[in-house]
Amino acid sequence: MHDVDPRPLLRRGASGGSPPTSGSAGGDGDGSVCTPRNGPGRPSGDVGSDAVIVTSAAPPTDPPDHEGDGDHGAGGSGTGRRHARRPRRSTARIVLVVALVLALVTAGGGFAWYRASEYRDLAAQAAAAQQLLVTSQGKVADPAARDGLAADVERARDLLAEPVLARVTTGTTRTSDALAAASGAVHDSMLEHARGEVEAARASLSTVVELGEKVYGATEGLGADETVRAGLRSALDTASSLDGAGLADDDLAALEQALVDLGSALTAVDTTTDELFAAQDAVTCPAPDQVWDPDGGRVPEEDLAAIPWSPSDRVRADVLDSLVALDAAYVERFGVHLTINSAYRTYEEQAGLYDPSSPIAAPPGCSNHGLGLAVDLGGGVQVFDTVQYTWLKENAGTYGWTHPDFAEPDGRVPEPWHWESVLARQDP
């Protein structure tokens, strides 16, 4: 930059005018600024004490800073305002950072709380599954269902044993879902098992009820204690009220209760039936070796079978084969069939033979002839110590037939001709 000619300025200063103040515009209106030549930092005497120079720099828009002045007035200087804005910006940044940190801490805390809640729920679920394993022991249709649940419980325990930091990054959804599915499978298997047990109990009760009804009907008017008969009737009615119990239930507790109720009813019917058996036997069958039976003389026709070499005589179908085998051995030894004098007798036929003054024929309902399980034989067997009788004594047992104690020579009624299937001496 070239200095302007100082002479006009010197002349203006010499004419007695005051030099322009710093920051005032020159007289040409072009923005030039006049400053003293001998301002701070320049030695005096170069031009004159009141000389000024003109530059082309634009004057500052703000008032000059006043070093050391603590009060810049109402507006303050531009530098002061910049200094004032800097602390405010720094404060804003700090507030923003703190807010972000708080947000992250809050979010992290919420996530950690959520994870902790998940693990508490999993622990409770695993405990419930373990209890289900205990209660389902021996009560499932498919044992593999319990094995699967046991494995899932172990996996849940392993997850629950993880360190706290590992838990924060590991979810429980998969393990929880597996436990829920395995628990459901065990519950379904328990339902299937319970239904099967209920069905089996109903079948058993039906068999006992059938016998009870038969005994109750057969004892009518035969002199048995009516109190005992009333007890059986009550038990039969209770059992009848349980018809269909539990079979349609999907509620495990209801099925288990039905099983208990059916078991109780079965016990009641079975017990009162036995009591009526004994009561009727006491008044009908005087001999200790005689046992009253409601089927005595009333065996269904379909349960009887004709003896092949003596077709007018019948025995119970389930003992025919053993009698045929015994006869075959007898024929091989003696060349002739066993002589059948009597076999099954109806109730009426037995009643016609019974004489209370004679022990020979048992009362109706007390004879094994009435059950189709006894035969009276001839052809030499009807006499003690004959060859035929002795052979039968030695061989009949091989084929399931026997000579009862009461018919032995020293028995209550010596009857060498009376032979019975071993089934006749089994409990009814």
- Asked if residue 227 and residue 165 are part of one domain, the reply reads no
CA proximity to 289, closest of 405, 372, 377, 397: 405
Q: What share of the chain is helix, strand, coil (3-state, %, to 5)?
A: 55, 10, 35
Total of domains in the chain: 4
Residue 139, in any domain of the structure: yes
Given 189, 217, 245, the domain boundary residue is 189
Q: List Cβ neighbours of 262 (8 Å cut-off, separation of 6 or more).
A: 198, 201, 202, 205, 242, 245, 246
Q: Cβ(399)–Cβ(321) under 8 Å?
A: no
Residue 70, in any domain of the structure: no
Residue 72, in any domain of the structure: no
Q: Cβ(232)–Cβ(208) under 8 Å?
A: no
304-307 vs 310-316, strand pairing mode: antiparallel
For residue 295, the model assigns a pLDDT of 92
Specify which residues 34 forms β-bridges with. 54
SS (HEC) of 225-282: CHHHHHHHHHHHHHHHHCCCCCCCCCCHHHHHHHHHHHHHHHHHHHHHHHHHHHHHHH
- Asked if residue 206 and residue 309 are part of one domain, the reply reads no
Given 284, 317, 341, the domain boundary residue is 284
* Three-state SS at 163: coil
CA proximity to 366, closest of 314, 324, 409, 406: 406
- Asked if residue 321 and residue 212 are part of one domain, the reply reads no
Residue 38, in any domain of the structure: yes
Question: Residue 228 corresponds to which tokens in the numbers above?
Answer: 């005992």
- Asked if residue 116 and residue 26 are part of one domain, the reply reads no
Residue 127, in any domain of the structure: yes
Domain containing 253 — which CATH number?
Answer: 1.20.140
Q: What is the pLDDT along the chain (428 residues), one digit of tens a residue?
A: 444 444 444 444 444 444 444 443 444 444 444 444 444 444 444 444 444 444 444 455 444 444 444 444 444 455 555 555 556 666 766 666 555 555 444 444 444 555 678 889 999 999 999 999 999 999 999 999 999 999 999 999 998 888 877 666 677 889 999 999 999 999 999 999 999 999 999 999 999 999 999 999 999 999 999 999 999 999 999 999 987 666 666 888 889 899 999 999 999 999 999 999 999 999 999 898 899 999 999 999 999 999 999 999 999 999 999 999 999 999 999 999 999 999 999 999 999 999 988 888 999 999 999 999 999 999 999 999 999 999 999 999 999 999 999 999 999 999 999 999 999 876 55
Residue 17 CA, chain-centre distance (Å), reads: 114
- Asked if residue 277 and residue 196 are part of one domain, the reply reads yes
- Asked if residue 401 and residue 308 are part of one domain, the reply reads yes
DSSP string covering 206-220: HHHHHHHHHHHHHTT
For residue 170, the model assigns a pLDDT of 74
pTM greater than 0.85 (yes/no)? no
- Asked if residue 317 and residue 271 are part of one domain, the reply reads no
Residue 219, in any domain of the structure: yes
- What are φ and ψ of residue 320, in 5° steps? -65, -45
Tokens 């002589």 correspond to what residue?
339
Which range of residues forms the domain containing residue 246?
A: 191-284
- Asked if residue 268 and residue 158 are part of one domain, the reply reads no
Question: Residue 143 corresponds to which tokens in the numbers above?
Answer: 């044992």
Q: Cβ(193)–Cβ(141) under 8 Å?
A: yes
52-55 vs 33-36, strand pairing mode: antiparallel
Domain containing 413 — which CATH number?
Answer: 3.30.1380.10
Residue 379, in any domain of the structure: yes
- Asked if residue 253 and residue 335 are part of one domain, the reply reads no
Question: Residue 370 corresponds to which tokens in the numbers above?
Answer: 């009435």
Residue 258, in any domain of the structure: yes
- Asked if residue 404 and residue 355 are part of one domain, the reply reads yes
Q: Cβ(380)–Cβ(337) under 8 Å?
A: no
- Asked if residue 184 and residue 271 are part of one domain, the reply reads no
Given 174, 189, 204, the domain boundary residue is 189
- Asked if residue 260 and residue 227 are part of one domain, the reply reads yes
